[in-house]
Structure 1
Amino acid sequence: MHKLDQTDLKLLEILQENAKITNAQLSKEIGLSPAPTLERVKKLESLGIIESYHAKINRDKVGLGVTTFVTVTLTGHKKQVTESFVKQINQIPEVIECHYVTGNGDFVLKIISKDIASYQKLMLEKINEIEEVSGTSTMVILSTFKESPVLPI
């Protein structure tokens, strides 16, 4: 963990809300001149605190209408089983998140699909065909009321 001052925290807060902000506007909002502002942003990037910048895409407008959370139980808990599963999951673009968890199941996947038929095909032909998978349980997202990319720093 790196020590961040109030200016760094304010920079991160602003950039999380609007990554397209100009350096001139950003410097004005934090009360520094443009050169030191840019230096701070570059430092946060080089330290890996700022990992990347992304455009938020409206899923419905690009034809991705079904979001699911899938709990996956593996056949065992040996290192090779877990590593093999993760390697195969990373090859499936519809799986946009993969979390190793405690509780019921071993992993939770967030999957985005065009529709229920394409989701079913993905499960039958890809996820359930992974040798290390012993079982799955799906929750279909009906509505999303909050989805924030902003971390509470």
Structure 2
Amino acid sequence: MPHQLDRIDRRILNALQEDGRLQNVELAKRVGLSPSPCLRRVRLLEEAGVIEGYVALLDPAKVGAGLTVFARLWLTGQDEETVNHFIDEVKDMPQVMECHLMAGDCDFLLRIAVADLDAYRRFQIEHLTRIRGVQSVKTEIPMQKIKHTSKIEL
């Protein structure tokens, strides 16, 4: 069930999504509160799990992970053991940026960041296809990033 957000909560969340490094005094000014109630609201949003955490967004190319691919995976079965084994294995792979259990054609959709095409091929051969229960992997290579955001409009 979604957390009930009022107008001020939405303003706080929008400001923090735009700049997660905002100091509380500046955040309070932007949302029209004094610092103490603003900090209390942020803490409540954190405790409620609305704010999951704070991160630095990196330029993948500048840190040696300039190629992003999307891999669709099919498993040999959709029983709980096979699915959970796959999930446990993928959670430990730093190249996998996102993993989604899918309804539809494939079982999982992964977003993978690696240095280049050779690095992806090695990752696929040495890691993905060696996971017990993986039947097939189909890789999609994006040609151009059109939009990338982590902001949820409130």
Q: Normalised by the shorter chain, which TM-score bucket?
A: over 0.9
1:84 and 2:108 correspond:
no
Structure 1 unmatched runs, 5+ = none
**Once the 2 structures are TM-superposed, how far is the Cα of residue 152 of structure 1 from its aligned partner?**
2.2
Q: What are the superposed Cα offsets for residues 79-111 of structure 1, whole Å, 9 maximum, x if unpaired?
A: 111000000011111001000111211000000
* One-letter identity of the residue aligned with 1:127: L
After superposition, where does 1:112-127 map in structure 2 within 5 Å? 112-127=113-128
After superposition, where does 1:3-152 map in structure 2 within 5 Å? 3-152=4-153
* One-letter identity of the residue aligned with 1:62: V
Structure 2 unmatched runs, 5+ = none
Q: What are the superposed Cα offsets for residues 95-141 of structure 1, whole Å, 9 maximum, x if unpaired?
A: 01000111211000000001111100000010001111000110012
Alignment partners' CA distance in 2, 1:124 and 1:104 = 22
Q: TM-score, normalised by structure 2?
A: 0.97
* One-letter identity of the residue aligned with 2:126: E
3-state SS, counterpart of residue 132 of structure 2: coil
Alignment partners' CA distance in 2, 1:152 and 1:134 = 38
Runs of 4+ in 1 over 4 A off after TM superposition: none
**Once the 2 structures are TM-superposed, how far is the Cα of residue 25 of structure 1 from its aligned partner?**
1.0
- % same residue: 35
* One-letter identity of the residue aligned with 2:4: K
**Once the 2 structures are TM-superposed, how far is the Cα of residue 144 of structure 1 from its aligned partner?**
0.6
Alignment partners' CA distance in 1, 2:133 and 2:96 = 17
Q: TM-score, normalised by structure 1?
A: 0.97
Alignment partners' CA distance in 2, 1:96 and 1:19 = 20
Alignment partners' CA distance in 1, 2:75 and 2:153 = 33
